[in-house]
Each structure stands twice: as C-alpha cells, then as structure tokens.
Amino acid sequence: MHLSYRWQATLVIALGLLMAILDNTIVSVVLPEIARAFHTDFQTITWVGTGYFLATAAVIPIVGYLSDRIGTKTIFLITLALFTLGSGLCAFAPNEQFLIAFRILQGIGGGAMLPVAMAIIFRMFGPTERAGAMVILMVPLLLGPAFGPTLGGYLATNFSWNAIFTINLPIGVVAFILSLLVLRDNKAEQEANGQEESVSKGFDVLGLILSMGAFTTLVYGISEAGPHGWGDTTVLSFLITGSVLLVAFIIVELRVKDPVMDVRLFGSYTFTIANILQWVTVAVLFGSLFILPLFFESVQGLSSFTTGEILISQGLAMAVGLAIGGKLYNKVGPRVLAVIGLAIAALSMIGFTRMDISTTGADLQIWLILRGLGLGLVAQPLQTLAISVVSNRQMAKASSLISSTKVVFGAVGVAVLTTFLTGQGTMHAQEIAAGFLTRPLGAVAAACVQQAGQNAPALKICVTQHAVTMGLNDTFLFVLVGCAICTVLAFFLGRDPAIEAAKAAKKRGETVETSPVPVMSE
C-alpha cells in the first residue's frame, strides 16, 4: 500500500501552505517586541505586516497567468524558494527598514502560493473527488489563524522574535525538496490538463500592470480605513484610484484573447453566486476572527499566547467541520452544507453579544466551538462549488481570480468591523462618562467608582474596558445579522454539475463513484 501521486502532491503542497499561513498570523502577535528590539515606534513596525499584505495583494492576480505560461510546478517552487529565502533574511535583518523589505519578498512568495496550490490540486482531481482534496487544502488556511498566535507567543516568550522566521527555514527546505521530487514536470502537467498546444504568444502587459496596481491600491485604502476612517483623505485617494484602475483592468481583460484574469467566468451563475457568498462570508465571518482577541488582550490584559490557547478549540472545531463537509459534499451537495454551516455560525454569535468585562475564555468555549464548526462546514463547499464549472485549462486563472477577490473582501470585512467597533466603543464611552454626572450614578459608572474609587487613571481604564466590551457586543450583533443574511443567500446557491450528472447516471442504472477517492492505493 502506498500514497497515490495525487495525494502525495496534495500533502506536499499543504505543507508549504501551512508554513506561509502560520507565519502571517505568528508575526502579528510579536510586532510590539520587534518594535522594542529595533527601538522604533509601533506605527513604523506595522509595515512589517502591511508590506507583506500588499505584496500578497499585488502578486495573487498575476500568478495564475504566469503559471499557465511557465508551469505551475515551476511557479510553486519559485514561491517556496522566495518565501524561505525571505524568512532567512527576516531573521537576520539588521534594522526595521531591511525587515520590511524582506517581508515584502516573503509576501510575494507566500501570496503566490495559494492560487498555484489550488490550481495544481483541482487539476489533479476529478469533479466528484475535489471535496476530499479540498479538505486537506483548507486545513492550513483555517488552522493557521487559530494556532499562529499561540505558536508566535511561545516562540517569542521562550526564544526571541527572530525564532518566528527561523522556524520556517527547515520546513521550507523540506517542502521545496519534496515538491521538486514529487510534483510532475511542466510538460507532463500540460499534457494531463489538455494543454498540448503552446500558449498564445501575446502577453497581456497592460493587464498585468493594471491588476497589480488596482488590487494593491484598493487593499491598502481599505486596510487604512479601519484605523483612520473612511473619510480620511489618504483612504479616499487610494480607494478612488484603485476603483478607477479596477474598472480599466476589467475593460482591458474583456478585450484581450489571453487575459491575466478571465472575468468572463462571472458569466456563469454558479461561479458568480458561489463567489458572492464567499465574499460576504469572508468579510463577515473571517473579519470577526480578528476582533475577538481584542477583548482578551486589551480588556482583560491577557498575553497573545494565552489568547491563542483560548482559541485553540475553535481551530479544532474548524478541522472537524472540514472533515464532515468533505465527507458529505457529494452526498448532500453544497447548498445544504452552506446553509447549515452559516446557520451554526449565526447561532454561535449569540454568545459573543452577551460579554462583560468578567467573561472568561471558558465561558466562551461552546460558542467558539460552534463558530469553528460552522466556518469549517461552509468554507469547503463554497470553494469547491466555485471551481466546479471551471475547466482545467482555466483553473490557474480562476484560482487567481477567486483568491484576489477574497483578499479584497477580507480587508473590507476587517476595516468595516473595526470602524463599527470604534464608533460603538466611542458612543458607549460617552454614555458611561455621562453617567458620572447623574445622581444616582449610571450602572457602569457606579461599578467603576466602586472598583477604582477616586483614582482618575484607574477610572479611565475601567470606562475603556466597559466601552470596548459593549462595542464588541454590538459588533458581534452586527456579525450575527450578516451571518443570517448569508444563510438566506446560501439557499440560492447553484448545483455542482458533477454531482447532478452522477445522480442522473445513477437513475439510469449506471455505476458512479461519487465519494472522495481513497487516500491509499495499490
């Protein structure tokens, strides 16, 4: 008994992805320590994360196009090499300027990795087999954010900030060697995908430039809207510029024969509705993943390591949801799984709308598990359905298109929720402050006086803690409404054509295998 080629390739690719996703979330929790090490301000050091994010946004739109011309194996090896090299350089960066530059290099490799990985895996598996493969691909995407903060906190506490980069070196080298040995060469891949004839000689230079410019400026403008507000001059400038470039990009892509991203794919109802629901889900649900740690770290003063430990149950529940979704996808279809997953996610938000400053991680465990289960159930069917109507020839460009738009809407979700949280927190702080002027004192004002007495700094801290918690409750209520809307939208999902064809064949008495292929083969 041995692993078939397809599953060997899938596991090797997943190893590289896990390294990239983990690194992104690990870095976010040790930025304060890096700022202290380089004796710089926190605003400057945030570019360690921002530079990586923008490099990712720039490279994702074009990587599918380049993969079709150079070969997905070659591109995947290049991305692994860039990411691993960038990790080594980051570990030994002499100052913050070099660190930011090396993180951009790392982001080019890490950002390109996901769409190439999707293209390779989806081309290897038949339409009715992709659900099982998708589970393995989604594991690093969902577990990375769950375990990254814990691992980052552990490495930073027991070693130094450099360790979050050096840990990538052995993993990256092993992943590179395995990918070099396991993945098929480009010629064999093209023959398997029906790409015997050469790619057209024309090169969409204008599309490349416009795509990189549009997505980078849009993502930056949206990301800055969270801390600075949507009316900020810089934010508006980048949003307007990005929108103009995006419109120009779409016009160009509709006119060329070999576009960087094939926006004509949105002519398919199934592809379009699956992507729309993915966008809303990413913005609402995954955006909310980034604001809960604020409660534990800013309100309760817990470390990032302890916060990560609290969130581990959510990550494990995601893995369970993924496994269940992969097992049932071919039996019940994407619509049922998406509706159930989103309904569970909406239900889980109830627990996050009732927090107070004394709420503990243990109090939220059942709600974290439910949220993880819902996210795991909905992530895989939406992704699998979106590519179910895409041919192998279009797969690389479709993967870039899907990944690029998800990056944009992920940034939208974080920015909108951050802005909403800031506004609600400010409003509640004003209400609490007004409570100090009434007789009797307002409920929260009285609690703060009882806790802090006449100590002004302590009173301010108490008011802030209550205001942030109340703002978080309002924000999660907003997310709950968003989840409910997503649940309704899920009823309008299209059907997976491969599953429908299999059902029709079964009715005709034909033998059809619709379950995921076994991992082990002779």
Taking the mean position of all CA atoms in its chain, how far away is CA 449? Answer: 42
Give CA angle at 519 (513, 520), nearest 5°: 105
Specify the pLDDT at position 521.
Answer: 34
Please answer whether residues 318 and 375 qualify as being in contact, where contact means their C-beta atoms are separated by less than 8 angstroms: yes
Q: What letter represents residue 140's amino acid?
A: P
Q: Give the integer Cα–Cα distance in Å for 213 and 242.
A: 7
Give the alpha-carbon dihedral of 340, 341, 347, 352, to 10 degrees: 180
Token reading at 64? 């599918």
Encode pLDDT of 162-177 as tens digits: 998 998 999 999 999 9
**Per-residue pLDDT at 520:** 32
Average pLDDT over residues 72-78: 92
Q: What is the pLDDT of residue 201?
A: 54
**d(C-alpha 520, C-alpha 507), whole Å:** 29
Instruction: Give the largest Cα separation in the chain, rounded.
Output: 83
CA–CA dist 393, 399 (Å, integer): 11
Cα–Cα distance, 395 to 399 (Å, whole number): 6
Which alpha helices (DSSP H) does 125-167 contain, by range? 130-158, 163-166
The chain-wide mean pLDDT, for the chain, equals: 85
pLDDT band at 189 (very low <50, low <70, confident <90, very high): low
pLDDT tens readout for residues 264-314: 999 999 999 999 999 988 888 777 777 888 888 888 888 777 887 888 888
Residue whose entry in the numeric block shows the structure tokens 């190893």:
15
Which letter, b or e, does each residue of 230-251 get, where b requires 16 or more Cβ atoms within 10 Å of its Cβ?
Answer: eeeeebeebbebbeebbeebbe
Which of 133-137, 268-272, 308-312, 407-411 has the largest mean confidence?
268-272
Residue 233: band (very low, low, confident or very high) from pLDDT cuts 50, 70, 90: very high
> What does the pLDDT read at residue 187?
65
- The rounded distance, in Å, linking the Cα atoms of 341 and 13 is 26
Q: pLDDT, tens digit, for every residue of 430-469? A: 999 898 888 888 888 888 988 888 888 888 899 999 999 9
Residue 76 tokens, joined: 């995947």
Residue pair 223/53 in contact by the 8 Å Cβ criterion: yes
User: Which DSSP string corresponds to 261-321?
Assistant: S-GGGGGSHHHHHHHHHHHHHIIIIIHHHTTHHHIIIIIS---HHHHHHHHHHHHHHHHHH
Q: Which residues of 401-422 are buried (b: 16+ CB within 10 A; e: fewer)?
A: bbbbbbbbbbbbbbbbbbbbbb
Angle at 521 between CA 516 and CA 522, to 5 degrees: 155
Q: Is 478 left (phi over 0), alpha (psi -120 to 50) or beta?
A: alpha
Full-prediction pTM beyond 0.75? yes
- pLDDT on residue 515: 40
- The type of residue at 139 is V
What's residue 81's pLDDT? 95
Length of the chain: 522
Burial 363-393 (b: 16+ CB within 10 A, else e): ebeebbbbbbbbbbbbbbbbbbbbbbbbeee
Give every CB contact of residue 140 below 8 A, 6+ residues apart in sequence. Answer: 14, 17, 18, 20, 21, 22
CA distance 339 to 492: 10
pLDDT at 191: 58
Least Cα distance to 49 among 226, 262, 299 occurs for 226
Rounded CA gap, 413 and 433, in Å?
Answer: 30
Among candidate residues 200, 204, 234, 207, the one with its CA nearest the CA of residue 220: 234
What pLDDT digit, counting tens, does each position of 329-338 carry?
A: 888 889 999 9
How far is the C-alpha of 501 from the C-alpha of 521, rounded, in Å?
A: 26
* Phi–psi pair at 521, nearest 5 degrees: -145, 160
pLDDT of 517 above 60: no
Helix (H) or strand (E) holding 477: helix 456-490
CA angle 411, 269, 116 (to 5 degrees): 50
Q: Residue 318: which of 375, 356, 379 has the closest Cα? A: 375
**How high is the pLDDT of residue 514?**
44
Assign 3 to helix, strand or coil: strand
The answer to whether the CB of 362 falls within 8 A of the CB of 485 is no
- Token digits of residue 281: 């889900």
pLDDT the model gives residue 361: 92
Q: Which of 85-89, 224-228, 447-451 has the highest mean pLDDT?
A: 85-89
Compute the distance between CA of residue 18 and CA of residue 315 in angstroms, rounded to an integer: 14
| pLDDT at position 119 over 60 | yes
C-beta of residue 161 within 8 angstroms of C-beta of residue 90: no
255-265 pLDDT tens trace: 988 888 889 99
Quick check: 117 pLDDT over 80?
A: yes
pLDDT at 194: 53
